[in-house]
Chains A and B, each alone.
Chain A
Amino acid sequence: MAKMHVSTTINGEPEEFLCEPNETMLDVLRDRLNLTGSKEGCGSGDCGACSIMLNDTLVCSCLMLGAEAEGAEIKTIEGMADGLSLHPLQQKFLESAALQCGICTPGMLVAAKALLDENPDPTETEVRFWLAGNLCRCTGYDKIVRAVLDTAEEIRGKA
């Protein structure tokens, strides 16, 4: 079968690509669009390292076909900072040492941003359950959870 032509929007910019009908969005992002910030840790939706926003809903890009991006709005880690100005979560992760190896970090940040966009004042328990699909093997999650809670407080303070 021929490749499919897909028109979509990625990080606010119109984008077109060709992909196999059974190709995942993660493979499209990484291998066709060179957006390698989304990572593959499992390919089965169990680690969250490939987290992206699909029409403002948090999803695993490994569990989505590239073809499904037709007409959709996709946001990836590459679109989180405003130019060289980091999102408060990114800045807080740096300041709080909320990453060690950094492989889970893009997915963790995309998921954490989705949480704070929806719930600006989450409890620790809410943060922990929201992020349960983002595996981190380095940190024990402590500094990640603190960074998310601290960022939420900071954003609320500014609002």
Chain B
Amino acid sequence: MTNIQYLAPTTLDEAVSLYAAAAGSARILAGGTDLLVQLRSGMINPGIIIDIKKIKELNSIEQKADGSFVVGASVSGTQLAKHSSFGKTWPGVLEALNLIGSTQVQGRASLGGNLCNGSPAGDSIPALIAAEATVNIQGPNGSRQLAVKDVLSGPGSTNLSQDEIAVNFIFPTRQLGSGDAYLRMIPRTEMDIAVVGCGVNLTLENNICTSATVGLGAVAPVVLEVEAAAEALVGNKIEEETLERAAEACRAVCNPIDDKRGTIAYRTKVAGVLMKRAATIASQRAEGA
């Protein structure tokens, strides 16, 4: 009755050629937690649904000898939480992924889906940006890598071309004394879309911050990397004065909208608060690392 096709390729090559051949009429199904809602509401009407969960590269977690991680784009939050070491190394990223929706949604939602959905409020994205994660992308003409911070191009859109598939995420080797954290503001304790989300990743040496990266979500058309906030942290102790300067940097880059989830004034103010709180948690983790 419906002119729609469901396909579940088992190899990446097969998926890429199906996706390319569909010339924009196909949608990728990872966890489906956004896709099925969009299908039901009539927001999208694809000709082909390509389920990528049967492809090994997209569905596995690997820790390399150098300590770096490669996480498949369709790995669910529940799967990632069960991995023996990922959560110890990147607690902020794991928290961010598992703040998406309920326990039920965590059983399906993935880093790849959250990123490629393109929402500026996607919870995992600020944490991925803070982690300086990159994403491997496969198209019919080969593969390329993009830093996560360069993936989003606007609300609901990405810099992937219509024949490219996100395959996996690479998390760099962790330096000693590093920690990350992600916090978001929602009105309830669970089940809401982030009004503001902030990811902070930093490294401490003798209590001085030697490097930092900050991702800030839901305050602009795309998730932002806030370099000025990171600069405010680097070279300093993580203390109130430092944090306030970083918070000010976060507030300064905010360009949010007034909508049903929050006002411009509220989002801007909260961005600073979350920056301070996330940096404090990240530094505590760095001290313990």
Contacts and interface: CB of A to CB of B under 8 A. Distances in A.
Interface of A: 1, 4, 20-22, 24, 43-46, 48, 51, 54, 57-60, 62-65, 67-68, 70, 111, 114-115, 129-134
A58 B4 contact: no
Contacts of A59: 104, 107-108
Contact of B33 (A43, A63, A65, A67): A63
Task: Please give me the 3 A-B residue pairs with the lowest Cβ-Cβ distance, nearest first.
Answer: A133-B102, A132-B190, A21-B6
Given A20-B4, A58-B107, A68-B32, 16 more contacts: A1-B3, A20-B2, A21-B6, A22-B4, A45-B36, A45-B104, A54-B107, A57-B78, A60-B105, A64-B32, A64-B108, A65-B49, A67-B8, A68-B8, A129-B189, A133-B190
B76 A57 contact: yes
Contacts of A111: 103-104
Contacts of B5: 1, 21
Nearest to A114: B103
23 contacts: A1-B5, A4-B6, A20-B4, A22-B4, A24-B40, A45-B33, A46-B191, A48-B104, A54-B107, A57-B76, A59-B108, A63-B104, A64-B36, A64-B108, A65-B32, A65-B49, A67-B8, A114-B103, A115-B103, A129-B189, A131-B103, A132-B103, A132-B189
A64 B4 CA distance: 16
Interface in B65-79: 76, 78
B289 interface: no
B37 interface: yes
Nearest to A70: B8
B6 A65 contact: yes
Contacts of A67: 6, 8, 51
A24 B254 CA distance: 39
B29 interface: yes
Given A60-B105, A132-B190, A133-B190, A43 B40 contact: yes
Interface in B179-226: 189-191
Contacts of A22: 2, 4, 6, 39, 49
B23 interface: no
Nearest to A19: B6
B140 interface: no
Chain B interface size range? 20 to 34
Main secondary structure of the interface of A (DSSP, over half): mixed
Contacts of B29: 65, 68
B6 A63 contact: no
A145 B37 CA distance: 29
A137 to B, nearest CB: 14
Contact of B4 (A1, A129, A134): A1
Given A54-B107, A59-B108, A45 B49 contact: no
B101 interface: yes
- Of A20, A48, A62, A68, the most chain B CB neighbours within 10 A belong to A68
Nearest to A134: B102
Contact of A21 (B4, B103, B104, B190): B4
B178 to A, nearest CB: 27
A68 B105 contact: no
Contacts of B53: 68
Given A24-B36, A43-B40, A45-B37, A68 B103 contact: no
Interface in B45-89: 49, 51, 53, 76, 78
A60 B31 CA distance: 11
Interface string B23-35: 0000001011100
B2 A21 contact: yes
Nearest to A42: B37
B121 to A, nearest CB: 16
Contacts of B108: 57, 59-60, 63-64
Contacts of A129: 189-190
- Of B36, B37, B103, the most chain A CB neighbours within 10 A belong to B103
